[in-house]
A and B are shown apart, each in its own frame.
Chain A
Amino acid sequence: MTRRELLVMALALGVAPGVAFAAGDKRDASAPRIVTLFQGATDTAVALGVLPVGVVESWLDKPIYPYLRSALSGATLVGLETQPSLEDIALLGPDLIVASRFRHQRIEPLLSQLAPVVMFDEIYRYRETLTVMGEALSRQANAAALSTRLTRRLSRLRRRLREHFGARWPVTVSLLDIRANEVRSYLAESFGGSVLAALGFRWNDVQRDLSGVSLKLSGVEGLPALDADVFFVMRHGRGAAVAEHYRRLRAHLLWQRMAAPRQGEVWEIDAIDWSLSGGILGVFAMLDDIDAWLTGAERRGRT
Chain B
Amino acid sequence: MAEIQALRLGRFSRAIVWRPWWRVVMAWGVVGVALAGCLSLGKIALTPPELLAALSAPLSDTGLIVWQLRLPRTLLAALVGGALALSGWLLQQVMRNPLASPDTLGVTSGASAAAVAYFSLLAADLGHAWLPLAAAGGALMAVGIVYWLAWQQGVTPLRLVLMGIGLSALLTAATTFLLVSSPFSTTLSAYVWLTGSVYGGNWSEVARLSIGLALALVAMAPLVRYALLAAVDDALAVGIGVRVQRMRGALTLLAAVIAGLAVAWGGAIAFVGLIAPHLARRLVPVPGAAQIVMAIAAGAIVVMLADLVGRTLFLPLDLPAGIFVAAIGAPFFLMLLIRQVR
Of the A-B pairs whose beta carbons lie under 8 Å apart in the complex, a sample of 16, sorted by A's number, is: A82-B188, A82-B189, A83-B197, A84-B318, A85-B315, A85-B316, A86-B69, A88-B316, A103-B189, A105-B128, A106-B128, A106-B199, A106-B200, A109-B204, A110-B69, A212-B183
Is A101 an interface position by the 8 A CB rule? Answer: yes
Chain B hits for A214, CB < 8 A: 183
- Encode contact with B along A86-116: 1 for CB under 8 Å, 0 otherwise: 1110110100000001110111011001100
Given the contacts A90-B69, A105-B128, A216-B183, A79 and B318 also touching, CB distance less than 8 Å? yes
Query: How many interface residues does chain A have, given as a range?
Result: 20 to 34
B43–A87 contact, CB under 8 A? yes
Chain A hits for B188, CB < 8 A: 82
Complex CA gap A184/B42 in Å reads 39
B64–A77 contact, CB under 8 A? no
Nearest-neighbor residue (CB-CB) of B191 within chain A: A82
Is B202 an interface position by the 8 A CB rule? Answer: yes
Is A78 an interface position by the 8 A CB rule? Answer: yes
Q: Which among A77, A82, A87, A88 has the greatest number of chain B C-beta atoms within 10 A? A: A87
Nearest-neighbor residue (CB-CB) of A213 within chain B: B183
Chain A hits for B68, CB < 8 A: 110, 113-114
Query: How many interface residues does chain B have, given as a range?
Result: 20 to 34
In the complex, chain B residues 45-68 whose Cβ is within 8 Å of any chain A Cβ: 61, 64-65, 68
Chain A hits for B128, CB < 8 A: 105-106
Chain A hits for B323, CB < 8 A: none
A110–B318 contact, CB under 8 A? no
Q: How many A-B residue pairs have CB under 8 A?
A: 71
Is B185 an interface position by the 8 A CB rule? Answer: yes
**Which DSSP category, helix, strand, loop or mixed, fits chain A's interface?**
mixed
Complex CA gap A103/B20 in Å reads 47
Complex CA gap A88/B64 in Å reads 12
B61–A85 contact, CB under 8 A? no
B69–A87 contact, CB under 8 A? yes
Instruction: With both chains docked as a complex, state the minimum distance between the C-beta of B39 and any C-beta of chain A, in angstroms.
Output: 12
In the complex, besides A85-B317, A87-B70, 16 extra interface pairs with C-beta distance below 8 angstroms are A79-B316, A79-B318, A83-B199, A83-B318, A87-B44, A88-B315, A90-B69, A103-B185, A105-B128, A106-B200, A109-B202, A109-B204, A113-B64, A113-B68, A184-B184, A212-B183
Q: Of B42, B197, B200, B317, which one neighbours A110 at CB under 8 angstroms?
A: B200
Is A145 an interface position by the 8 A CB rule? Answer: no
Complex CA gap A216/B120 in Å reads 15
Instruction: With both chains docked as a complex, state the minimum distance between the C-beta of B128 and any C-beta of chain A, in angstroms.
Output: 5
Given the contacts A88-B43, A90-B61, A105 and B317 also touching, CB distance less than 8 Å? no
